[in-house]
């Protein structure tokens, strides 16, 4: 009884015009069902981040129809998109993007501030989210006082604190060593097991192998779409 | 996202960078401090002048030569008033109880080897009564002194101190414009007077002595006067006296067209100086207002830099659910907090500065509550106004571009 979370229907994204025109996404059709754990791979400049931005409602496609969790988002205004990003989507970035002047707890509370959650509940939920990623002993540390892996776990806690249906991660382990990569991937697996749909961009075959579906991009098109685990190293070679 | 959250967030951001926030506020602080101090000084000056005029007593009329036009055009007024005009006013206007005509000159006053330049006032025995002066030591000159043009002088208190430095002036000989005078009295101190004429620093001599022995007037019409001051018995009679004096002088001067004199009451003078000091206050406030404007531009400048610096923060906030409007409000609030806080601090400094000035100058600065309220509200609005451009820039930032700018 699956239900599509992401529905790309002939999506194109074109940057610039005339000579400088870049087809970052070229007529992409793609469906991700609720509860999937999906990796996006492909060479640099193939349109992975562009696809993630469109999925995350940070960017609008030039052409095509995009339905998120059954809602056609191409018709929504800035305010409604902000609300969707706040309620349905959690973002994790390669660069963590924590606010340096805020503590770990305050960083995690931030999405709830925009959601209008009152302080006591905000505090409790943020604490719970940080506990879930194993950082309940670092609540009042500023980002500068945390290791890279810890910072990324704070970012994950922030991404899940509003109980999104979809977790988007653009190269979440790109700035981490192999050991902390394992920790972070374990958290993603655990979140996916609890029902959150996870889509992540990665360049690392070992990371993609831990997901359950791999979508390959090349020159703005989906060139392979298959279930993991397979010999991803081999796929990278052929792609 | 409600306003209290936004306020708390803005305060957090601003206190995270205290030095920058303080420097940003500096323009507004200086602007406000100068507005408050300048307006305070202006109002103080206004009060000071008003009190001086009120000190003349409410029952005094000034008769000055020239008309409205010539008075505005030049300081060198035509001498259309003569001593006999003053005598006629005293005799023929029933409510006038005394007149003090004056002819003012200036020149060196010498006692032994000490010399100073001072105002030489030629007047009549009616002066102390009409102008509300008391003679501290010795006596004032009399009608007899007038008739005989005796060479006697009454000194202002400060002039006496400067020339005699503690020794007894009464009975001593001084030289005024190289003519020998005997000091017969010293006036009590009264403080600086109107129009720059400070009687404390003047030497007073009988009017006829001045015109005959010092000025050598040869006017065929009589003894020229700088102005006439007349005191009226009761406040109720001021209007009548003003009217009668004017008519009398028109008759005497055979005027058919425009008057060659103006009669002013204390009320007229208050209004006249009120417009001058009011304009002065407005000018000072305008100058100070410009610095407030500059402060506002400073805030805009720093906020623009801040938006550039915080593009990643803005992108992140948008990614986790802030709408463009939320970002707009956030930056607006930061600008308003900066300017309003600057306004409050500046006002405090301005009040302090004005009080300090009050301690070293003769007038008490007027600090009005309305000036303070207006100042804080205005600086808040300045933040609002100059915050719009940076805040809009922040709100319109593309989150993807913002997040990528690592
Ligand atoms: N704002 C933009 N303006 C113009 N071109 C852009 C813009 N953003 C992306 N592109 C172009 O679109 C194409 C796809 O970029 P995208 O960032 O999606 O690649 P990617 O697959 O994420 O690459 P990487 O693995 O290096 O992150 C690239 O050719 C890029 O230069
Ligand atoms: Mg990318």
Instruction: Give all domains of chain A, ordered by start, each with its CATH number.
Output: 6-237 (3.40.50.300)
Tell me the mean pLDDT in the region B267-275: 80
Residue nearest to atom 14 of ligand 1 (CA): A47
Question: Which of A187-191, B67-71, B72-76 is predicted with the least confidence, judged by mean pLDDT?
Answer: B72-76
At residue A184 the predicted structure's pLDDT band, cuts being 50, 70 and 90, is very high
> How far is it, in rounded angstroms, from Cα A213 to Cα A37?
6
- Contact (CB, 8 A) for B155 and B183: yes
Higher-confidence residue of B401 and A86: namely A86
CA–centroid distance, A70 to ligand 2, in Å, is: 26
Which token pair is A72?
């056609």
Q: Is the minimum distance from the CB of A53 to ligand 1 under 6 angstroms? A: no
Note whether A121 contacts B: Cβ–Cβ < 8 A: no
- Contact (CB, 8 A) for B299 and B335: yes
pLDDT of residue A73: 92
State the closest ligand 1 atom to the C-alpha of A52, by its place in the atom list counted from 1: 18
pLDDT of residue A20: 87
Tell me the mean pLDDT in the region B235-253: 89
Task: Please choose, from the candidates B231, B212, B213, B214, the residue with its C-alpha nearest in 3D space to the C-alpha of residue B222.
Answer: B212
Higher-confidence residue of B78 and B293: namely B293
pLDDT of residue A220: 94
The DSSP bridge pattern shows strands B203-206 and B152-155 to be antiparallel
Backbone angles phi, psi at B228, to 5 degrees: -120, 135
Q: Is B177 left (phi over 0), alpha (psi -120 to 50) or beta?
A: left
Tell me the mean pLDDT in the region A150-169: 96
Q: Is the minimum distance from the CB of A48 to ligand 1 under 6 angstroms? A: yes
Task: Please choose, from the candidates A7, A137, A14, A118, the residue with its C-alpha nearest in 3D space to the C-alpha of residue A66.
Answer: A7
B300-328 b/e with 16+ CB inside 10 Å = b? bebbbebbeebbbbbbbbbbbbbbbebbb
The residues, ordered by sequence, that sit 6+ positions from B141 with a Cβ below 8 Å of its Cβ are: B125, B150, B152, B154, B184, B204, B205, B206
pLDDT of residue B173: 94
Q: Taking 50 as the threshold, does the pLDDT of residue B91 lie above it?
A: yes
Q: Taking 70 as the threshold, does the pLDDT of residue B1 lie above it?
A: no
> How far is it, in rounded angstroms, from Cα A30 to Cα A216?
11
Instruction: Determine, for residues B319 and A85 on separate chains, whether the beta-carbon distance falls below 8 Å.
Output: yes
Domain boundaries, chain B: 3-51+271-404, 79-259
At residue B217 the predicted structure's pLDDT band, cuts being 50, 70 and 90, is low
Q: Taking 90 as the threshold, does the pLDDT of residue B142 lie above it?
A: yes
The residues, ordered by sequence, that sit 6+ positions from A155 with a Cβ below 8 Å of its Cβ are: A92, A93, A96, A97, A98, A107
Name the average pLDDT for chain B: 85
Task: Please choose, from the candidates B203, B198, B149, the residue with its C-alpha nearest in 3D space to the C-alpha of residue B174.
Answer: B203
Residue nearest to atom 6 of ligand 1 (CA): A15
Tell me the mean pLDDT in the region B277-300: 84
> How far is it, in rounded angstroms, from Cα B24 to Cα B8?
19
Task: Please choose, from the candidates B274, B275, B272, B243, the residue with its C-alpha nearest in 3D space to the C-alpha of residue B259.
Answer: B243
Tell me the mean pLDDT in the region B242-269: 86
- Rounded to 10°, the helix A119-132/A104-115 angle is 130
At residue B12 the predicted structure's pLDDT band, cuts being 50, 70 and 90, is confident
pLDDT of residue B193: 57
- Contact (CB, 8 A) for A169 and A200: yes
CA–centroid distance, A49 to ligand 1, in Å, is: 7
- Total count of residues recorded for chain A: 239
pLDDT of residue B115: 92
Which token pair is B227?
């102005």
- CA dihedral sign, ordered A117, A123, A125, A130: positive
> How far is it, in rounded angstroms, from Cα A58 to Cα A49?
11
Q: Is the minimum distance from the CB of A46 to ligand 1 under 6 angstroms? A: yes
Residue A182: CB atoms within 10 A of its CB come to: 15
How many CB pairs (< 8 A) connect A and B?
63
Task: Please choose, from the candidates A212, A204, A144, A160, the residue with its C-alpha nearest in 3D space to the C-alpha of residue A180.
Answer: A204
Which runs of E-coded beta strand occur in B169-273? 173-176, 179-187, 203-206, 227-232, 261-265
> How far is it, in rounded angstroms, from Cα A165 to Cα A163?
7
State the closest ligand 1 atom to the C-alpha of A220, by its place in the atom list counted from 1: 14
> How far is it, in rounded angstroms, from Cα B381 to Cα B375?
10
Tell me the mean pLDDT in the region B192-217: 80
3-state secondary structure (DSSP) of residue A93: strand
Q: Taking 60 as the threshold, does the pLDDT of residue B76 lie above it?
A: no
Q: Taking 60 as the threshold, does the pLDDT of residue B77 lie above it?
A: no
**H-helix or E-strand spanning residue A180:** helix A178-193
With a pLDDT cut of 70, the percent of chain B lying above it is: 92
State the closest ligand 1 atom to the C-alpha of A217, by its place in the atom list counted from 1: 21
pLDDT tens per residue across span A201-211: 999 998 998 99
State the closest ligand 1 atom to the C-alpha of A42, by its place in the atom list counted from 1: 21
Q: Is the minimum distance from the CB of A90 to ligand 1 under 6 angstroms? A: no
The residues, ordered by sequence, that sit 6+ positions from B405 with a Cβ below 8 Å of its Cβ are: B311, B312, B315
Task: Please choose, from the candidates B76, B5, B24, B73, the residue with its C-alpha nearest in 3D space to the C-alpha of residue B298.
Answer: B24
Note whether A236 contacts B: Cβ–Cβ < 8 A: no
At residue B288 the predicted structure's pLDDT band, cuts being 50, 70 and 90, is confident
pLDDT of residue B258: 82
Q: Taking 90 as the threshold, does the pLDDT of residue B267 lie above it?
A: no
Task: Compute CA distances A225 → A51, A168, A230, B325, whole Å.
Answer: 15, 18, 12, 39
pLDDT of residue B179: 92
Q: Taking 90 as the threshold, does the pLDDT of residue B8 lie above it?
A: no
CB-CB: which of B5, B9, B322 is closest to A82? B322
Which token pair is B270?
């208050």
pLDDT of residue A87: 95
The residues, ordered by sequence, that sit 6+ positions from B124 with a Cβ below 8 Å of its Cβ are: B86, B99, B100, B101, B146, B206, B207
Tell me the mean pLDDT in the region B120-136: 90
- Contact (CB, 8 A) for B382 and B69: no
Q: Taking 70 as the threshold, does the pLDDT of residue B396 lie above it?
A: yes
- Contact (CB, 8 A) for B60 and B309: no
Higher-confidence residue of B367 and B306: namely B306
Q: Taking 90 as the threshold, does the pLDDT of residue A65 lie above it?
A: yes
| Smallest Cα distance from A230 to chain B, Å | 32
Higher-confidence residue of B15 and A228: namely B15
pLDDT of residue A239: 45
Note whether A59 contacts B: Cβ–Cβ < 8 A: yes
Which runs of E-coded beta strand occur in chain A? 4-15, 22-33, 37-41, 63-68, 71-72, 89-93, 166-170, 197-201, 213-218, 221-227
Helices (H) and strands (E) in chain A, counts: 8, 10
- Total count of residues recorded for chain B: 406
ipTM tops the 0.95 cut: no
Note whether A79 contacts B: Cβ–Cβ < 8 A: yes
pLDDT of residue A233: 54
Task: Please choose, from the candidates A43, A50, A58, the residue with its C-alpha nearest in 3D space to the C-alpha of residue A11.
Answer: A50
> How far is it, in rounded angstroms, from Cα A31 to Cα A28?
10
Residue B248: CB atoms within 10 A of its CB come to: 16
Instruction: Determine, for residues A99 and B313 on separate chains, whether the beta-carbon distance falls below 8 Å.
Output: yes
Which of B 114-173 lie inside 8 A of A, CB atoms?
none
Note whether A152 contacts B: Cβ–Cβ < 8 A: no
Helices (H) and strands (E) in chain B, counts: 14, 10
Q: Give strand pairing partners of A90.
A: A167
Which runs of E-coded beta strand occur in B69-126? 96-111, 114-123
Tell me the mean pLDDT in the region A158-185: 94
Q: Taking 70 as the threshold, does the pLDDT of residue B194 lie above it?
A: no
With a pLDDT cut of 90, the percent of chain B lying above it is: 39
Q: Is B64 left (phi over 0), alpha (psi -120 to 50) or beta?
A: beta
Tell me the mean pLDDT in the region B239-267: 87
């Amino acid at each position: 009884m699956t239900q599509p979370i992401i529905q790309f229907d002939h999506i194109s994204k074109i940057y610039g015009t005339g000579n400088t025109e870049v087809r970052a996404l070229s007529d992409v059709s793609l469906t991700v069902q609720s509860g999937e754990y999906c990796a996006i791979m492909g060479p640099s400049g193939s349109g992975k981040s562009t696809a993630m931005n469109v999925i995350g409602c940070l960017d609008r496609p030039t052409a095509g129809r995009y339905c998120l969790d059954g809602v056609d988002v191409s018709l929504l205004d800035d305010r409604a998109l902000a609300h969707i990003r706040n309620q349905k989507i959690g973002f994790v970035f390669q660069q963590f993007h924590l606010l340096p002047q805020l503590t770990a707890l305050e960083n995690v509370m931030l999405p709830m501030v925009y959601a209008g959650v009152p302080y006591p509940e905000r505090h409790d939920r943020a604490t719970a989210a940080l506990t879930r990623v194993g950082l309940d002993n670092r609540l009042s540390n500023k980002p500068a006082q945390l290791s890279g892996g810890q910072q990324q776990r704070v970012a994950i806690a922030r991404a899940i604190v509003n109980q999104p249906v979809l977790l988007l991660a653009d190269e979440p382990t790109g700035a981490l060593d192999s050991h902390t990569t394992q920790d972070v991937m374990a958290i993603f697996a655990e979140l996916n097991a609890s029902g959150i749909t996870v889509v992540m961009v990665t360049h690392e075959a070992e990371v993609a192998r831990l997901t359950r579906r791999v979508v390959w991009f090349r020159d703005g098109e989906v060139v392979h779409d298959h279930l993991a685990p397979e010999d991803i190293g081999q796929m990278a070679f052929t792609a | 996202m409600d306003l209290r959250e936004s306020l708390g967030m803005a305060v957090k951001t601003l206190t995270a960078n205290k030095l920058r926030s303080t420097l940003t506020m500096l323009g507004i602080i200086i602007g406000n401090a100068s507005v408050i101090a300048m307006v305070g000084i202006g109002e103080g000056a206004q009060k000071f002048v008003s009190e001086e005029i009120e000190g003349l007593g409410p029952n005094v009329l000034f008769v000055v030569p020239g008309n409205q036009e010539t008075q505005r055009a030049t300081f060198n007024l035509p001498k259309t008033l003569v001593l006999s005009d003053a005598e006629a006013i005293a005799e023929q206007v029933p409510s006038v109880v005394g007149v003090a005509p004056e002819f003012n000159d200036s020149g060196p006053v010498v006692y032994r080897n000490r010399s100073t330049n001072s105002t030489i006032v030629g007047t009549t025995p009616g002066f102390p009564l009409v102008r509300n002066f008391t003679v501290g030591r010795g006596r004032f000159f009399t009608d007899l002194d007038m008739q005989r043009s005796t060479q006697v002088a009454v000194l202002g208190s400060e002039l006496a101190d400067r020339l005699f430095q503690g020794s007894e002036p009464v009975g001593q000989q001084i030289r005024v414009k190289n003519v020998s005078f005997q000091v017969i009295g010293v006036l009590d101190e009264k403080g600086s007077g109107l129009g720059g004429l400070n009687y404390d620093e003047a030497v007073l001599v009988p009017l006829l002595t001045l015109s005959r022995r010092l000025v050598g007037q040869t006017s065929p019409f009589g003894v020229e006067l700088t102005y006439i001051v007349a005191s009226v018995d009761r406040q109720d009679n001021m209007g009548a006296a003003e009217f009668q004096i004017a008519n009398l002088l028109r008759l005497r001067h055979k005027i058919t067209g425009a008057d060659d004199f103006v009669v002013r009451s204390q009320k007229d003078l208050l209004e006249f100086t009120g417009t001058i000091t009011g304009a002065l206050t407005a000018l000072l406030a305008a100058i100070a207002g410009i610095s407030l404007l500059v402060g506002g531009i400073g805030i805009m400048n720093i906020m623009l830099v801040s938006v550039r610096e915080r593009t990643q923060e803005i992108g992140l906030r948008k990614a986790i659910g802030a709408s463009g409007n939320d970002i707009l409000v956030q930056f607006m609030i930061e600008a308003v907090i900066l300017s309003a806080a600057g306004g409050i601090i500046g006002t405090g400094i301005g009040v302090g500065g004005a009080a300090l000035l009050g301690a070293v100058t003769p007038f008490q600065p007027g600090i009005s509550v309305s000036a303070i309220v207006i100042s804080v509200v205005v600086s808040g609005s300045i933040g609002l106004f100059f915050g719009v451009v940076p805040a809009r820039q922040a709100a319109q930032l593309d989150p993807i571009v913002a997040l990528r700018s690592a």
